[in-house]
Amino acid sequence: MGSLAITYDNLGNYADAEKLQIQVLNMRNRLLGEEHPHTITAMENLARTYHNSKKLKDAEQLEIQVVDKRRRIFGHIHPDTIKAVASLRAIRSDVEVQSGPLMALPLCFYFLSPLIFTAFFYFILVFF
């Protein structure tokens, strides 16, 4: 069902894709739990469909949840986390076009602050 939803999304049939992806997400939540990687992937797919269909607020809200869960489960520098942050940045970039500049600036600090802290910590350990 998830593959069919992605196919609908790729073909531009966003209404059918959204319906199927909501069903997939609900089933995965029920069967696997909210923190399971496959459930988070279903959330990410639904967010992509929302983004493609220009439902930017819905896409942004869902992608924020994806980023938070991926950071909590996989850590800050895992490829899936970085991909989710990039997707959120793309959504916020489109929101900027509609609402004005500098709306996505806090995302930079949200993602980089743990990395900056870690780099500073290692710098202190190595050089002092």
* Interval 27-37: pLDDT, tens: 999 999 999 99
Is the per-residue pLDDT at 108 higher than 60? no
Q: What angle, 0 to 180 degrees and rounded to 10, lies between the N-to-C axes of helices 56-74 and 37-52?
A: 160
Written in H, E and C, the secondary structure of 12-28 is CCHHHHHHHHHHHHHHH
Q: Where are the domains of the chain?
A: 2-127
Banded pLDDT at 94 (limits 50, 70, 90): confident
* Interval 40-82: pLDDT, tens: 999 999 999 999 999 999 999 999 999 999 999 999 889 999 9
What's the rounded Cα separation, in Å, for the pair 79 and 91? Answer: 18
Out of 20-29, 89-98, 112-121, least confident range: 112-121
CATH code for 2-127?
1.25.40.10
